[in-house]
Each structure stands twice: as C-alpha cells, then as structure tokens.
Structure 1
Amino acid sequence: MATYVLVAGAWHGSWCWVEVARMLEAAGHRVLTPNLLGTEAEDEPETTEPLHRWAEQIAEIVRQEVDEVVLVGHSRAGLVISEVAERVPEKIDLLVYLAAYLLQDGQTLNDWAQRAHNADAMTNAVAFHSDGTCTIKPEILEKIFCNRTSAHFIDFARARTVPEPIAAFMSPIQISHERFSSVRLGYIECLQDQAIPLDMQKAMQAPFPNVMTEKLDCDHSPFFSMPHELVSALERFRRAE
C-alpha cells in the first residue's frame, strides 16, 4: 500500500479531499491532507513568501514518512509540490498535478494565468484586499470551479473557502533539472475546466516529455464531481512503471 499526501489549491483546504481520502483509505492506503500554513479559517494568512514556507512545511511532512510518498497537488498547489520535489526528491515516488500549475524554473503562476484566454474572467472572479490577500467571489465559485459539481458540494465549498495570499501567484518557483527531474510525473487533465483551460494544461506539460497523462471529463473540482474516477487515475499512475 502507498502513502498519499494531498495538497489543496488556492482558497481550499483539506476539506476538499474528504471523498478522495475516504476512498483511498478504504483501499488500505495511508492518506495525509495537511492544511497549508495560514489557510485555516482562524489563521493569519502567510502573506510573506508563502510558496517557500508551504514547500518547507510539506517537505518536512514528507521527510517524516517511512516510505516514499505519492504527492498530489491541485491547481496552485502544483507550485508547492514542485518545490517539495526539489527539496526531497528521494522521498517522493510520484508527483501528480491535478489540473495544476506545472511550471519551469523561474516561472510564476501569474505568468501563465495572464496569457490564458480566460484571464479577464478569472481576474473578475477574485476580490483583492488591502491586507495582501484575495478571495474567490462566492457567486462565481460554481461557474469557474464547480460547473460539473452537485449543489451539495458547491454549498460545502462556499462555506469553507479562505483568503489566499496574492504573493503566492507572483512567486517564481525554484527547481533544478538534477533534483526535480529525478521524480516521476503524472498530470490529470480536467476537460471541462473553466479555471485552468485545457489548452493551458496541455501547454504546461509540453516541456516535460516524460509526464504521464490521464483525462477526466470534469470541472476544476474532480474531488467533488468525479472522486471515484480521480482515485482510479491516481492508482493507475502509482502502478505505472
């Protein structure tokens, strides 16, 4: 059996993995769903170097595991898991990018987001605040993130989203060919994604010729809209040679 570490994307927390974690645990796996520093409702947001601090946080969790882990990052968490792989490649069996930002060294999330055809829509979906954070507008959540998700889970998500530090979008990742490229990569494309368009998901994979790819006919939130299929895709990656 495997150890899965599941890292949520912007405005989300461990709560988004509830169905996926339950299914993986039922199959006998160990599952960790850490909340990133500053992303719980009662926390002060990590507005200074959040990407660096999150990568250090998750790397330390991975270091404590006896066996190699399958490290999964959704959306913005793609940046986090890339930096974790740079720190502890020997402890990671597989990196899985779930409709996530798979960036090259020195790139930022904003570099890619601003070139997407939905850049204006995404900017309008976010409320920016003077404390260095931003929030996803509740009335936009369904249209952008959950366009194939049941009303129950949309309400569940609306009640739990938290502020995101704007600095996370502007921080360049720091990875090297020697360390990052030694880890197996998998990418799960979400075909009906309105947050990270499919053409951008494909473009981010292009510089990484050895990336394995799975496709789900779902929105940006497959942990809600297609949890069974998501778990199956994760397991196929894990078993691949």
Structure 2
Amino acid sequence: METNGRGNQEEPHPQHHFVLVPGLCHGAWCWYKAATALRRAGHRVTAPDMAGCGAHPARVDEVRSFEEYSRPLLDAVAALPPGERAVLVGHSHGGCSVALAAERFPDKVAAAVFVAASMPAVGRSMGARPPTSKELHQENPNIPGRPVIFGPKFTAQRLYQLKSTRVQELTLALSLIRPANRFNEDALMTDEKLLTEAGYGSARRVFVVVEDDLGIPAEFQRRMIAQSPGVEVEAMTAGGADHMAMLSRPEELVDLLLRIAAINGV
C-alpha cells in the first residue's frame, strides 16, 4: 500500500479485468497498444483470437458456426473464477460475440462495451448486411454463409484512413488479416429470441461512438443505439479516430475504458 507523502496510507487502485474482442478478419494483435497500456496501469487483460482469425490454428473452412467462431471468448468468460466479473470490449463484428457472451454469462459481465461495434438489440436477430468487402468461395458446403476478406483498398480507405494508422498499422493489418465468416445465415445469428432481457439485456451496456469511422459510420452507430434504450453512450472525438480506434487513438480509448470500469465500482 502506498502513502500520500504525509504518512497517510492510500488505498490501491482497484484492478479490473478487460477482455478485448477483435472485429472481423482481425485478431488479438490489433489490441496490442490498448492491451499494453491497460497492463501497465495494473489491470488484467485477456485478448482471445476468434476461431480461424489471428493466430488461431483453425482455417476459415473449418469453423462451422458462429458459436464455434465465438468459442474462444465464451470459454474465456466461462473460466472466470466465481465472483469475478470482466469488462467485455467488442470492436466491430466482435460486438456480436460480446452480446452472445453476455447472454450466456450475465453474472460474469461487469460491462459490455461496444467500440464502433455491432450492438444487437434484445428481441432482434444479430444478423446484419456486411460492409463492402470481397466475398470468397465457400470451400465447405456445410457452413452457412460465405467467408469475406477486406481488400487492400477497402482496408486503407475505410478502416485505416487516418494518418495516425495509415502507414505502420496498415502494413501490419495487410500482413495479418485473414478471411472470416459473418455467419449471417447461422441459426444463432437469425434467432430473434436469442438475446433476452434476463440475459444480455440485464448487462450494463456502453456504446463508444467513433465519429470519424468510415467502416461503420457514426450515423449507423447511433441507429443501433436508438434500438437499445438505456445503453450508455461515450464518444471519441478528440483528434479523430478511424474504425481502428484502438490503433489510431489508443490512449483516448484506454482512458474511456478505465472510466467506464471505474463507474459503480465495476
């Protein structure tokens, strides 16, 4: 325990556990700046690769369902010690996996944070029309939907368009992004009864609007917010952040996450 210089002891800052979920075609690698800053601040960080993405060993044609795609996150949340609750942070398509985890394990979720992410509403399906991206041939006919990959032009102009991420981070992304499936036709994604008030709806939800996002424009982000009354709203506006806010404005995003976690002693 530290002292304040006058001999009085100060209580240590509480440690939070953040679970960082990447978006489509990306892996845990895209969180490296935010994860490093959170750990340096004394917090725990788990950043799983979704099945078939990042460093996960499965190929896209081996991941048969949205449940299987989200399994690394579901397993991480299920494995939390009794009484521990984590802050789940979903980016882009990762918001759907966060919603599924919150539905399955509401007692283990301190907050579900959606950073320019797909945020489904209770009583509605999670399926959504994909953004402009290149569809690939489905090698496995037993898997619903076609895999997609973000092409170099789309990645540069819609996801990593700001100078703060345009050079080094774009080069990194083009080296590491992998094909992934949105599973829009999957049974879980089309089930309007999947997300309930007692499960997902009972979790504290926070949406972080990224104003300069061209991948999921702010107007569409606010449309999702309007479908879920009671969701808390934060915004990233200082200096601008593109779709990859954790890379273009990591300090601002980390400050937001810490503030969210500190509210109500999360």
Give the whole-Å Cα distance in 2 for the aligned partners of 1:107 and 1:178. 16
Residue from 225, 229, 233 that aligns with 2:248: 225
| Secondary structure, counterpart of 1:39 in structure 2 | coil
Post-superposition CA distance 1:153-206 (Å, at most 9, x none):
111111100001142576336211111121111111110111111111001011
Change (3 A) 1:235 1:166: closer
Residue from 48, 55, 59 that aligns with 2:74: 59
Partner of 1:209: 229
What is the RMSD computed on CA atoms of the aligned residues?
1.8
Change (3 A) 1:37 1:81: same
CA contact (8 A) 2:147 2:179 kept: yes
Partner of 2:173: 157
Partner of 1:116: none
Partner of 2:9: none
Alignment of 1:92-103 (within 5 A): 92-103=109-120
Deviation at residue 5 of structure 1 after TM alignment:
0.5
Residue from 159, 182, 185 that aligns with 1:145: 159
Please give the TM-score of this superposition, normalised by the length of structure 1.
Answer: 0.89
Gaps of 5+ in 1: 114-121
Give the whole-Å Cα distance in 1 for the aligned partners of 2:253 and 2:185. 26
CA contact (8 A) 1:47 1:133 kept: no
Residue from 193, 199, 203 that aligns with 1:179: 199
Change (3 A) 1:199 1:80: same
Partner of 1:38: 52
Larger radius of gyration: 2
Partner of 1:128: 136
| Secondary structure, counterpart of 1:53 in structure 2 | helix
Partner of 1:48: 64
CA contact (8 A) 2:102 2:199 kept: yes
Deviation at residue 6 of structure 1 after TM alignment:
0.4
| Secondary structure, counterpart of 2:172 in structure 1 | helix
Deviation at residue 108 of structure 1 after TM alignment:
3.3
Q: Which letter does structure 1 place at the counterpart of 2:76?
A: I
Q: Which letter does structure 2 place at the counterpart of 1:220?
A: H
| Secondary structure, counterpart of 1:177 in structure 2 | coil
Please give the TM-score of this superposition, normalised by the length of structure 2.
Answer: 0.81
Gaps of 5+ in 2: 1-14, 140-145
CA contact (8 A) 1:145 1:220 kept: yes
Partner of 2:6: none
Q: Which letter does structure 1 place at the counterpart of 2:175?
A: A
Aligned residues: 230
Post-superposition CA distance 1:8-48 (Å, at most 9, x none):
00010000000000000000001011111121465212542
Partner of 1:197: 217
